[in-house]
Amino acid sequence: MPADSKTKKTILTLNNNKKNGKPTVLVTAYDYPQARIADMADVDCILIGDSLGMTTLGHKTTIPVTMDDMIRSSEAVCRGSNNAFVIGDMPYMSYQPSNQIAVENAGRFIVAGCDMVKVEGAMTERIKAICDSGIMVMSHLGLTPHTRAKLGGYKVQGKTAEQAEIVLKQALALQDAGCSALLLEAMPKEPATMIAEELDIPVYGIGAGDGVDGQLVIFHDLMGLFWEFKSKFVKRYCEAGQIMEKALEEYVQEVREGKFPTEENFYEIKEEELEKLLGDSKWKYETDKGFPTNHSATPNTVTEKK
């Protein structure tokens, strides 16, 4: 494994950002080019989210995502990112069954190159086991898609004082269990800000207002590459899907009209090799268009002699 670059962000960067009131920027990525782009744009953290199930694999939820899906994606992202701090998202049933399974699967993310793992829900015992094994954990509270059925669907959390109190208690327990960071999903700004102020560890938000220590956005939401639905907290920074579609339409048209490929896209063959080819009786050439004119035969299409 190559040594970390000198500019690589670490947990110290994240902690210092919190201390200095500098917002940390997080984005998801699921493959090598996305990680390269995120890294070049100087994001602080990349999360290989199990949202990959929806953004990349076309599932309706994150539930079918497997450890193997996540590890393949994590390896590619880690190869593409030199500077960003990389967090691997533990998929459904990769941590719930036992402490041992949780630690083993967390370890697979670290072997893949991740710096930290993310675990959904107030699974204090599992999270403590992972932290005790020396692996850093980001906990994920608020709207937790793995337990969305229990929450009554994809609903904003912490909207009542009682609910917000529960999330705060869970957050404090997770910090005590050894978590290095916390992510709050889909919560009103005020309780999320209070939690961020109460905790010593960095508290990030996705749809949790601007009072937390940093923001996470899903790559495909930000880029305009996800069309199934758009959450209130999403801001599209470009319509990459439309740009790609337009490019593909142009390609389709040019191929059909014979405008692509052109000379500049062709590989060359040496004159003498072409002579040999033309002189070989095994081949028969049609001579209507497109071949060098200094040859006796000027074939365009090649057909095998009968």
Interaction site with ligand KIV (CB under 6 A): 28, 47, 49-51, 62, 89, 140, 183, 185, 206, 216, 218
**Alpha carbon distance 46, 216 (integer Å):** 9
Helix (H, G, I), strand (E, B) or coil at 174: helix
- What's the min distance (Å) between Cβ of 69 and ligand KIV? 12
- What's the min distance (Å) between Cβ of 204 and ligand KIV? 9
Concatenated DSSP letters for 5-18? Answer: PTT---HHHHHHHH
Six-digit token pair at 284? Answer: 């028969």
Indicate the residue among 131 and 219 with the shorter CB distance to ligand KIV.
Answer: 219
Q: Please confirm, yes or no, whether 185 is among the known catalytic residues.
A: yes
Is residue 42 within 8 A of residue 27, CB to CB? The reply is no
- What's the min distance (Å) between Cβ of 177 and ligand KIV? 19
Indicate the residue among 28 and 193 with the shorter CB distance to ligand KIV.
Answer: 28
The closest residue (CB) to ligand KIV is: 49
Indicate the residue among 92 and 299 with the shorter CB distance to ligand KIV.
Answer: 92
Handedness of CA 250, 256, 257, 259 (dihedral sign): positive
Indicate the residue among 164 and 216 with the shorter CB distance to ligand KIV.
Answer: 216
- What's the min distance (Å) between Cβ of 120 and ligand KIV? 7
Of 165, 185, 228, 273, which is the active-site residue? 185
**What interhelical angle do 161-177 and 124-132 show, nearest 10?**
30
Residue 299, phi-psi category: left (phi > 0), alpha (psi -120 to 50), beta (remainder)? beta
* Burial class of residue 88 in the structure, from the number of CB atoms within 10 Å of its CB (0-12 exposed, 13-18 middle, 19+ buried): buried
Q: What is the DSSP letter of 91?
A: P
With a CB cutoff of 8 Å and minimum separation 6, the contacts of 142 are: 157, 158, 167, 184, 185, 186, 187, 192, 208
- What's the min distance (Å) between Cβ of 8 and ligand KIV? 22
Q: Which residues are catalytic?
A: 185
